[in-house]
């Protein structure tokens, strides 16, 4: 059964000097309005315990434009400024609902330079996009076509740290579910192998950051030698940013291809609920863990499974997948990271990662059958063990090796 989803299509474009100047002014005004509105809300919340609504912030923006100090806000399109206030409203909504921390100010150097335009602020005609306050359309490189008959409802323009310009078009797209299959797969995330599958296959870790580490180090050394505020330092900064962008682009491309393949070939995908933020506290492995980008892989699996009618099962992070024998169900007392192969009391020799992936698959299938484990389960107050662990260890005991 097909479904309608909102899907963003991102393209690179090359602005003229006039367009680049206009967009740069817009980015600055968006950041200023966001920070000024956040300052007013912070003063009201911590000083008077009073919440400020979007309507009140919008009225304040109108008053700011009337002052001589902020009259330049009228020179750019008002729509991106209003969208910045809406984004701030969403951030405060998440904060009050305890889904996120208190909103932070946008930095000129560290924050992403972007502006969002709704239908009233851009013109889409004959496959050409013209933004408000601009005389001509953007020179977009159409690397892939938009869905047939689709028209963008929202346009987001951004510039990354490597001075590359991108435009993201949000469109309604029709997604058809993938053909049904009985296959199921378990994934064990790692560093040497990016993921190990329950079929025994190991997907090698491309280690994109390590491959470009020498180039990155050279660019960073050159940057450190430049005088702050000089034009040469800005050129050196862009070189560093381009190396980072190259690494990120290659990593994202690899993860998209891997996640698409896993979703197409399997009806059920089982993964662990890894707390990457805590794992990054390990100073020796933090760089390798960041390069692996497990969080990005999980995010891609989540939305692609939802799109194509697949089931994604996330098992408890405390499930001892590596220490559990998939043949007899015995749990080893200890399993240091340097142990890649171990022998159980029953005589079965296990490859650590393959055994973990098979246990993860069995745990996911057992949890899915009983309606448990799709979300991480905390430990039971009576037994001190999660229901997923108990159900899985019963289900995995005696499972023959594939």
d(CA 378, CA 375): 10
CB–CB of 158/113 below 8 Å? yes
d(CA 249, CA 212): 13
List the Cα angle 98/102/107 in 5-degree steps: 145
d(CA 84, CA 116): 8
Which of helix, strand or coil describes residue 7?
Answer: strand
d(CA 112, CA 120): 24
CB–CB of 175/307 below 8 Å? yes
CB–CB of 102/95 below 8 Å? yes
| Residues in contact with 127: Cβ distance below 8 Å, sequence separation at least 6, in sequence order | 142
If you search the block for the tokens 């699996």, which residue do you land on? 301
Active-site annotation, residues? 188, 272, 353
Residue 324 DSSP one-character state: B
Q: Which of 253, 246, 249, 256 is nearest to 213 (CA)?
A: 246
Structure tokens at 284: 């020796």
d(CA 402, CA 392): 18
Residue 331 DSSP one-character state: B
CB–CB of 208/291 below 8 Å? yes
């Amino acid at each position: 059964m097909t479904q309608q989803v909102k899907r963003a299509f991102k393209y690179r474009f090359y602005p003229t000097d006039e367009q680049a100047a206009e967009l740069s002014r817009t980015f600055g005004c968006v950041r200023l309005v966001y920070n000024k509105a956040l300052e007013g809300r912070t003063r009201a919340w911590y000083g008077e315990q009073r919440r400020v609504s979007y309507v009140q912030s919008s009225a304040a923006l109108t008053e700011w434009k009337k002052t001589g100090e902020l009259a330049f806000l009228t020179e750019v399109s008002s729509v991106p400024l209003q969208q910045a206030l809406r984004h701030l409203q969403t951030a405060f909504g998440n904060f009050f609902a305890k889904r996120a921390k208190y909103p932070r100010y946008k930095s000129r150097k560290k924050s992403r330079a972007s502006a969002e335009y709704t239908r009233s602020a851009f013109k889409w005609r004959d496959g050409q996009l013209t933004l408000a306050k601009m005389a001509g359309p953007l020179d977009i490189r159409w690397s892939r076509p938009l869905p047939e008959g689709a028209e963008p409802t929202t346009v987001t323009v951004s510039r990354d740290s490597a001075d590359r310009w991108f435009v993201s078009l949000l469109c309604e797209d029709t997604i058809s579910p993938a053909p049904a299959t009985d296959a199921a797969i378990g994934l064990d995330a790692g560093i040497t192998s990016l993921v190990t599958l329950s079929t025994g296959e190991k997907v090698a870790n491309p280690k994109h950051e390590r491959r470009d580490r020498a180039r990155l180090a050279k660019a960073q050394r050159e940057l450190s030698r430049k005088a702050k505020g000089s034009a040469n330092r800005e050129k050196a900064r862009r070189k560093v940013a381009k190396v980072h962008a190259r690494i990120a682009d290659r990593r994202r491309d690899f993860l998209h291809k891997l996640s698409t393949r896993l979703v197409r070939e399997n009806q059920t995908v089982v993964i662990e609920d890894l707390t990457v933020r805590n794992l990054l506290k390990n100073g020796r492995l933090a760089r390798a863990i960041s390069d692996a980008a497990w969080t990005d892989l999980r995010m891609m699996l989540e939305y692609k499974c939802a799109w194509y009618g697949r089931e994604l099962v996330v098992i408890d992070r405390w499930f001892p997948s590596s220490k559990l024998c998939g043949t007899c169900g015995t749990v080893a007392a200890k399993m240091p990271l340097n142990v890649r192969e171990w022998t159980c009391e029953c005589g079965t020799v296990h490859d650590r990662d393959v055994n973990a992936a098979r246990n993860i698959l069995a745990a996911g299938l057992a949890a899915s059958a009983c309606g448990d484990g799709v979300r991480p389960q905390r430990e039971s107050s009576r037994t001190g063990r999660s229901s997923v662990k108990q159900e899985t260890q019963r289900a995995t005991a005696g499972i023959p090796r594939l």
